[in-house]
Structure 1
C-alpha cells in the first residue's frame, strides 16, 4: 500500500495540472491572427542591425502554434520566417526556419505571457549552434519576437533580432 501511495504521489508531482494545460491552450489560441510590425535583425552578433518590416500569420490551437511570415529589410532583402510548435507534458518542441542555415530545433517552456525557447541551429551560427527565442504576448494585440545569441568574441549575450508586431 505504501508503494502505491508513493507511486501515486510521484505521478501527481510530474503531471501538469489541468488548469495549466487549459492555460496553455488559451495562451496559444490568443496568438492566432494576422500580424504586422517591425524591428531590427543582426545577421551576426558583430554586425550592425538591419531595420525590417514584417508580416506574420499565426494559428494557435490547444496543443500547437504555427507562425509563418516574411521580413523585409532595405529594398532587396526578404526572408521567410516561421516556427511550428507543439506542446506535450508542459514542454514546447518544434522547428524554426529563417536563419539561412536550414531548419533549427526549438524546445522550451512557457513563462507567464512568453515562450522561452532554446534554438539548436542546423549549422554553426556565431561560433556555436545554440541561441534563444522568446515569443511574448504583449497586451491583447501585441507580440514580440526576440532572438539572443552569445557573442563569441566577448562571451556576452546579444540581441540578434527584436520584432514587435500588432494584430491587424
Structure 2
C-alpha cells in the first residue's frame, strides 16, 4: 500500500522499492527467440544493485548446451517515471521507459532494430514476496497480431 505523506516525495517510495530488489538471484524460465518459435528452457543468475534513483540488473541465462546470453537492464527513476537501457537482445541495446504500479515495473521496450515485425515490446519486472522476482517480456506476433510471452524468468534471491 502506498500512502501519501506531506513532505515525502515519490522518489522516496521508489527508492525503497528499488532497494528492496537488491541482491543475487537465480532461477529458471523459458525464452522464445521469435514469437513463432518453440520455447527454450533456461537457467539464469542475476545480480541487482540499486540506489534511491537507479536499478541495475545484470545476468546470464543458459539453455541447452549452446545457448548462453548476457542480459541486463539499467534504469533511472525521475519522479515516478523510469527510463533506461535493456541489453541482451539480438538487435542491440533497447530503450526502456515506464512506471511502477505496486510491486511491478511495466516498461515499454523500443528495440534498436525490428524484432518480430516491429520495434515494440513490453518488459514486466515483478517483485514477488520478499525474495522473488519475475522478468517477463511480451511481444506482438506479426502473423496473428496476438501478444506472445517471449521470455518468462522466475528468480529467487539467494
TM bracket, shorter-chain basis: over 0.9
| Deviation at residue 48 of structure 1 after TM alignment | 0.3
2:22 to 32, 56, 63: 32
- In structure 2, the partner of 1:4 is none
- Where does residue 150 of structure 1 map in the other structure? 140
SS at structure 1 position matched to 2:91: coil
Tell me the C-alpha RMSD between the 2 structures.
Answer: 0.9
Count how many residue pairs are aligned between Structure 1 and Structure 2: 152
Match in the other structure for 2:110 = 120
- Higher Cα Rg, which structure: 1
Q: How many angstroms does 1:21 deviate by?
A: 2.0
2-side partners of 1:46 and 1:18: how far apart?
47
> 5 Å matches for 1:1-168?
18-168=8-158
Alignment-derived partner of residue 10 in structure 1: none
Counterparts of 1:102 and 1:75 in 2: how far apart (Å)?
23
SS in 2 for 1:109: strand
Segments of 5+ residues of structure 1 without an aligned counterpart are 1-16
CA distance in 2, matches of 1:120, 1:80: 19
Structure 1 residues 78-102: Cα deviation after superposition (integer angstroms, max 9, x where no partner) = 0000000000121100000011111
CA distance in 2, matches of 1:105, 1:18: 29
User: TM-score, with normalisation over the residues of structure 2?
Assistant: 0.94
The residue that corresponds to 2:4 in the other structure is none
- What's the offset of the Cα at 1:19? 4.7
2:79 and 2:69 map into 1 onto residues whose CA distance is: 33
The structure carrying a bigger helix percent of its residues is 1
Q: CA deviation at 1:18?
A: 2.7
C-alpha contact 2:11 2:77 (8 A) present in aligned 1: no
What is the TM-score with the length of structure 1 in the denominator? Answer: 0.89
